[in-house]
Amino acid sequence: MTVLGSKLHQDELNGGARSSYFNSPPLDVSVAFPQATPASKFPPHVADYYQLDDLLTPEEQAIRLKVRQCMEKEVAPVMAEYWEKAKFPFHVIPKLGEMCVAGGTIKGYGCPGLSITGSALATAEVARVDASCSTFILVHSSLAMLTIALCGSEEQKQKYLPSLAQLSNVACWALTEPDYGSDASALRTTATKVAGGWILEGQKRWIGNGTFADVLIIFARNASTNQINGFIVKKDAPGLTATKIENKIGLRIVQNADIVMNKVFVPDEDRLPGVNSFQDTAKVLAVSRVMVAWQPIGICMGIYDMCHRYLRERKQFKAPLAAFQINQQKLAQMLGNIQAMTLVGWRLCKLYEAGTMTPGQASLGKSWITLRARETAALGRELLGGNGVLGDFLVAKAFCDLEPIYTYEGTYDINSLVTAREVTGIASFKPTFLTKQSRL
């Protein structure tokens, strides 16, 4: 009887494995463990099975290609090393600036004025090679710059946006606090009016780019009106300290900060006139949530591209891994997920462009796409075996990078609840015992 395991074991005992070893071409000992090409030489783009390009304008196709080429050339060779060290590769910022994607959909002020689809594709192409880089640009562009563009005065736009668009200055966006994450609208940082400006006091947590950003967009509660206001704060403002959060398991290149504001003075000219309540952040979050939804799409395209190459390069049982049915099924499942995620993301962009996208639709896009992305990344991680836990082969890194994306810009749960509130008309964020108490 030869069940698979015992037959193989017998072969090994009989020297079968040894004889096939001696029949193999001589090992190239100059390359340690040459199982497959690492991700520093990025794999060809093969994940776009349903030909997304057919749905794009020539300009959108062009920006997609431009970003892909830059990321593969400039970022792919260094990303594993910087991810491992949890350091930011400052030397690539000028190269990212040359892609002309910072500022995304903003028109004028030196910004690229891309369509939302073009901006989303740029986000995905950056994320395909490195999710941390895409988060760096997303926080800077789709959160901080967009807040200035949508809620700032004409003078503020002229003063800040051009240098941010070139990435000669970097911005961050600070909403979350140590005690207010999902419940961010209850934030406690205060803004108190004084002669000629405002005094900010409080703390922020998790702020991407926060350790080195030149410009910080800070949200605080107006001590007189009790409403949320927005402020532009400079890096060297007295009383402001930013400390790097260490030991992240994902997006390790992103420098997230704990920020403490101890009587930080902000002149009147740096208060954002368009942020007068928490609701005013909604128009910024509507765009950024679409962008965040495209990050996992890009990440999964990179994972698939890597798996596709790896499975054809590495052999086991004298056959490429790609020849095994179970591996083929996993590849097909990943590919199907990516096509569905892409079409949902594309449709979100079209709804936004038509001016009809609702908050629930944006939230469903973000939550559902991140859910499918987690499944896709887990399959990819399995397919690479041991190398699926090594940063060098992209997939382990991408697998880890998805975790914070599943959580930020509204966790999977919170975004699901936003959608469910819209379709049922019933909000379920607060436990019922608190809702009953508040009615008393």
Ligand X SMILES: Cc1cc2nc3c(=O)[nH]c(=O)nc-3n(C[C@H](O)[C@H](O)[C@H](O)COP(=O)(O)OP(=O)(O)OC[C@H]3O[C@@H](n4cnc5c(N)ncnc54)[C@H](O)[C@@H]3O)c2cc1C
Name the site residues for ligand X (rule: CB under 6 A).
139, 173-176, 181-182, 206-208, 251, 256, 404, 407-409, 411, 413-414, 417, 429
By beta-carbon proximity to ligand X, the closer residue of 143 and 341 is 143
CA–CA dist 301, 124 (Å, integer): 8
CA distances for 171 relative to 89, 121, 164, 201, 210, angstroms: 16, 21, 7, 20, 8
Minimum CB separation of residue 160 from ligand X in Å reads 18
In the complex, minimum distance from the CB of residue 358 to ligand X, in angstroms, rounded to a whole number: 20
Report the distance separating Cα 202 and Cα 403, nearest Å: 28
Contacts of 115 (CB under 8 A, 6+ apart): 57, 59, 60, 105, 349, 353
Give the nearer residue to ligand X in terms of CB position, either 50 or 429: 429
Residue nearer to ligand X on the CB measure, 36 or 216: 216
CA–CA separation, 329 and 212 (whole Å)? 45
Smallest gap from Cβ 251 to ligand X, in A, equals 5
Which residues are CB-neighbours of 12 under 8 A, at least 6 positions away?
none
Nearest approach, Cβ of residue 249 and ligand X (Å): 10
Identify which of residues 204 and 271 has a Cβ nearer to ligand X in the complex. 204
Question: For residues 321 and 310, is the Cβ–Cβ distance under 8 A?
Answer: yes
In the complex, minimum distance from the CB of residue 141 to ligand X, in angstroms, rounded to a whole number: 12
In terms of CB distance, is 337 or 415 closer to ligand X?
A: 415
Q: Which is nearer to ligand X, 332 or 434 (CB)?
A: 434
Nearer to ligand X by Cβ, of 209 and 342: the residue is 209
Who's near 251: CB < 8 A, 6+ residues apart? 131, 132, 135, 401, 404, 405
Residue nearest to ligand X (CB): 181
Shortest separation between residue 236's beta carbon and ligand X, angstroms: 20
As measured in angstroms, the least distance from the Cβ of 246 to ligand X is 12
Q: Quote the tokens at residue 80.
A: 């594993």
Q: With respect to ligand X, which residue has the nearer C-beta, 327 or 367?
A: 367
**d(Cα 301, Cα 310) in Å, to the nearest integer?**
14
Nearest distance, CB of residue 157 and ligand X, angstroms: 21
In the complex with ligand X, which residue's Cβ is closer, 323 or 371? Answer: 371
Burial of 155-192, coded b for 16+ CB within 10 Å and e otherwise, reads: ebbebbbbbbbbbebbbbbbbbbeebbeebeebebbbe
In this complex, which beta carbon is closest to ligand X, that of residue 161 or of residue 400?
400
User: Which C-beta is closer to ligand X: that of 62 or that of 249?
Assistant: 249
Rounded CA-CA distance 373/369 in Å is 6
Least distance (Å) from ligand X to the CB of residue 138? 9
